[in-house]
Structure 1
């Protein structure tokens, strides 16, 4: 096992494209860290630099306290699981698991021990003589995991390993990866563009955008206190509602967001210092909008209802602005009806309109 440290790590390609802008963060020994962001944000590039598959343009990368900038991939004590299983089609499961160990010169008994241990851990003991083409996608991904597992590396690297699986299999294999990490206690770096995977798997999450680290924290800390508008909009499904306007505090203490054609009542939240008259973006999670009346209520047009089993997503419109509300299953008016909606003023997020950075509420 080993910690991983990025110190001002930068990646610039020959054509001048900057893929990673000076990333600096630590991954603790035994931690499962998730790198998440949209396509092209630099997450896979960071992973490939750890693996030694991409050269580092500047900065320092350390694994277990050893600088590895110029260390060959085979000497880094890492194992990587790719998106496309990369199994040898003419080899059985057992042969796929054992192949890398044999190349490294491990003895027969040691190879058999490691293959047996990995197969038992991943539920592959009954299919060791099976060829990949006769297996499901979930089984093949478990073989790919097993091939990394038998290496007994200091660091596991997983590059979007569930992207080729259907939704049910993704959930199943995701649970297995989490269990595997708890059992092994080995450092894991997991790359995904799926924020649900990131939230459910990561002990901590690195959110990236356009090659820059946006925020690093635990899943719920990111959800409850996003550092900027990008993080707020990226994490959460449905996404956070964003409304832009100027904040006002009325004489009676109530706050209002002046959006021009519409004025949104916000109740009596703690506003950021000096925010009166300031252009801001107000963020509100779908679960913090609810049908109701009161001083922080407004009338919205119900456009459509999306039942997804144990909850309902209600698509609304306030003037020209779309909103999404999350509710438990219930009877609702027909599309086109006007619905009174109340804002939970205590759960609002404020961001600067220009920079997108979070604005903290003034002390109580």
Structure 2
């Protein structure tokens, strides 16, 4: 396997559009790194530059210490798994798995051995003589993965490989990819727009928006300490609640919103960073699980239930606080009727504060 290093890599198109702006990060040997963001954020463009399918406008891309900016895709020792399976319909599973090796002039015995090993790893041994049309969607995706595996490349590149599968298959294939990564110890770069896939698969995640890297960190660090409002709103399902208002302090901290005053408590750990923002506009972020049901009192946030969503092990409460939509994640229990006023407390130690203009995290 190999390391991958990007140093201020840019993609600028002839019309001046910046697809990727100065992307710099390292991918460790054996790491599974996920590129995530909304459509058009530059994640697939970045992956295609690593693959050599897209030219690099500026910056340096290195694989295993070798600069590969001008190296053709076939000489980069990478293997790519695409969104569509791209299997040859007239070839059996075995022939599809070994086709790339035959193109590279490998001996039949070596091809057969690698195909057998990949089929065993992907539980395709009983389907080697089948045509793609006879396979399920999950099996076809495993064949596409296997075609990359038999190459034994330095780096695996996966471009939204699960997007054509239904929800149940996506879950099972996600587990299979994570299992394969652990077994192979392979260097993998995985592109997705699905933040659940990103959080469950990635050892580290690169969050992109508008061609720019917003934050790079482990899944839980991104969730617990988003660098800005975009990351805060993008990662997490349901998304973080964001409330705008003026930060005030009497005996305790408060957020004065257009819909009323929210009690924030003492905020003992956040106070030093928040003092410069006293009597200024600010954005408060509250994860749905940190909006907790409580009894009615002067410090409670009172919101009206609009739509309860019971999903078995938990309930999402879609609420209306004035004109502000909020979501609370609560344990299963008796569902109140829509239109019911409900009372909530904020988990003080898990509140997030952001600058209202730049969106940067304060604390």
Q: TM-score range by the shorter chain?
A: over 0.9
- Count of aligned pairs: 358
Q: Which moved more, 1:182-191 or 1:289-298?
A: 289-298
State the 4+ residue runs in structure 1 displaced beyond 6 angstroms: none
Structure 2: stretches of 5+ with no match in the other structure: none
Task: Note the 1:237-248 alignment, pairs <5 A.
Answer: 237-248=237-248
Residue by residue over 1:35-56, the C-alpha shift from the partner in whole angstroms, topping out at 9 and shown as x without a partner, is 0000000000010001000000
TM-score between both structures, scaled by the size of structure 2: 0.97
- CA distance in 2: counterparts of 1:42 and 1:169, whole angstroms: 26
- CA distance in 1: counterparts of 2:40 and 2:321, whole angstroms: 33
- By how many angstroms is 1:259 displaced? 1.3
Aligned Cα root-mean-square deviation (Å): 0.9
| Contact residue 267 and residue 295 of structure 1 kept, 8 A | no
- SS at 2:74 equivalent: helix
| Contact residue 79 and residue 153 of structure 2 kept, 8 A | yes
- By how many angstroms is 1:273 displaced? 3.3
| Contact residue 296 and residue 343 of structure 1 kept, 8 A | no
Question: Are 2:328 and 1:325 aligned?
Answer: yes
Question: Are 2:319 and 1:316 aligned?
Answer: yes
Residue by residue over 1:83-126, the C-alpha shift from the partner in whole angstroms, topping out at 9 and shown as x without a partner, is 00000000000000011100000001100010000000001000
- CA distance in 1: counterparts of 2:333 and 2:238, whole angstroms: 18
- CA distance in 2: counterparts of 1:31 and 1:157, whole angstroms: 12
- CA distance in 1: counterparts of 2:146 and 2:299, whole angstroms: 54
- By how many angstroms is 1:295 displaced? 5.8
- SS at 1:357 equivalent: coil
Task: Note the 1:260-279 alignment, pairs <5 A.
Answer: 260-269=258-267, 270-271=270-271, 272-279=274-281
Residue by residue over 1:272-292, the C-alpha shift from the partner in whole angstroms, topping out at 9 and shown as x without a partner, is 231211211100000001110
Question: Are 2:349 and 1:351 aligned?
Answer: no
Task: Note the 1:21-100 alignment, pairs <5 A.
Answer: 21-100=21-100
Residue by residue over 1:25-82, the C-alpha shift from the partner in whole angstroms, topping out at 9 and shown as x without a partner, is 0000110000000000000001000100000000000000000000000000000000
